[in-house]
């Protein structure tokens, strides 16, 4: 079964950067294990400032960490990895996710595998998958503020008594009006997040597509829509209480902008995985597929 679309490898490994999950002191011993595993290959491990404060080690700024590192490590879970992908987007560095709790959809290396997987990296026994990201442009008075999202952009109402009323346009033409609890614009990777809870499709993460899924629509005729990657969709809100939530991490008020446009970002997130990582096995474990 073909489970990847690239043979990309790291060109060199002299320095590795690390960002950890906030406020989890249980990660200190695992940081030391990662450091020793890399020292075996004479590789420097550097840590961004907030994580270094938690782990009790020397620090560098986040920007310096990204510039100097040949690849990055997200130590904690899917949320930590998503945050690192977004913050390091412009540096295009591959990222390895090591999970602190249960197996995630994105992080697949557990603590007991740290040494063995780092050995595999130096033996080129790994793969790098490129995951599509979203570029979100917030337009106001001719100015544009650009941000990126890894999983999804959610347009949501702020009042329980109200409804979100959102119009979607392509090339200036209205394609749909969404009236209900909100709308999710998702990447294929993010299809297994809020999107699937709202009845959207599960899309293989290496697929190139843009997914629009209404949340509790007022009309039963509203259905999820999957668009080609070369489409750019513009959104306008017809009420004052709609907010934009980026990967569940940042929130903006629609009323502060004239409109919002979303398209596929020019770069993707590069994730380092085991060669034998099988997305369908993850789905079977997380969603209990194949069980009677």
Tell me the three state secondary structure of residue 158.
Answer: coil
Tell me the three state secondary structure of residue 231.
Answer: coil
Q: Structure tokens of 281?
A: 């096995």
Buried b (16+ CB within 10 A) or exposed e, 56-93: ebebbebeebbeebbbbbbbbbbbbbbbbbbbbbeeeb
CA dist 199 and 213 (Å) reads 8
In this structure, is the dihedral angle defined by the CA atoms of residues 94, 97, 98 and 100, taken in order, positive or negative? positive
What are the residues whose beta carbons fall under 8 Å from the beta carbon of 59, sequence distance 6 or more? 47, 48, 49, 51, 52, 53
Active-site position among 78, 152, 181, 247:
78
**In this structure, are strands 15-20 and 44-47 parallel, antiparallel, or unpaired?**
parallel
Q: Provide the phi-psi class of 216: left if phi over 0, else alpha when psi is between -120 and 50, else beta.
A: left
For residue 57, which of 85, 34, 82, 81 has the smallest C-alpha distance? 34
Indicate if 58 belongs to the active site: no
CA dist 201 and 188 (Å) reads 9
Q: Structure tokens of 179?
A: 């009236």
Q: What does the angle CA 185 – CA 188 – CA 191 come to, to the nearest 5 degrees?
A: 65
- Active-site annotation, residues: 78
């Amino acid at each position: 079964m073909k489970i990847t679309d690239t043979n990309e490898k790291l060109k060199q490994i002299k320095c590795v950067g690390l960002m950890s999950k906030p406020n989890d002191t249980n990660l200190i011993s695992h940081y030391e294990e990662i450091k020793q595993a890399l020292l075996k290959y004479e590789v420097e491990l550097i840590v961004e400032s907030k994580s270094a404060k938690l782990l009790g080690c020397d620090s560098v700024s986040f920007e310096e960490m990204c510039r100097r590192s040949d690849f990055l490590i997200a130590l904690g879970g899917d949320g930590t990895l998503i945050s690192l992908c977004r913050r390091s987007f412009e540096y295009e560095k591959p990222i390895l996710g090591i999970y602190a709790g249960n197996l995630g959809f994105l992080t697949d290396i557990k603590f007991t595998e740290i040494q063995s997987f780092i050995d595999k990296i130096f033996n080129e026994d790994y793969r790098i998958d490129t995951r599509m990201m979203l570029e979100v442009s917030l337009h106001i008075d001719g100015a544009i503020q650009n941000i990126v999202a890894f999983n999804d952009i959610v347009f949501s109402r702020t009042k329980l008594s109200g409804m979100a009323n959102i119009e979607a346009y392509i090339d200036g033409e209205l394609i749909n009006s969404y009236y209900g609890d909100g709308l999710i614009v998702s990447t294929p990777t993010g299809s297994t997040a809020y999107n699937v809870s709202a009845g959207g499709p599960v899309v293989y993460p290496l697929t190139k597509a843009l997914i629009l899924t209404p949340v509790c629509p007022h009309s039963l005729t509203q259905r999820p829509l999957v668009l080609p990657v070369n489409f750019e969709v513009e959104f306008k809100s017809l009420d004052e209480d709609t907010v934009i939530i980026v990967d569940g991490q940042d929130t903006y008020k629609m009323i502060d902008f004239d409109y919002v446009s979303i398209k596929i970002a020019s770069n993707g997130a590069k994730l380092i995985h085991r060669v034998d990582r099988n997305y369908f096995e993850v789905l079977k474990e997380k969603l209990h597929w194949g069980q009677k």
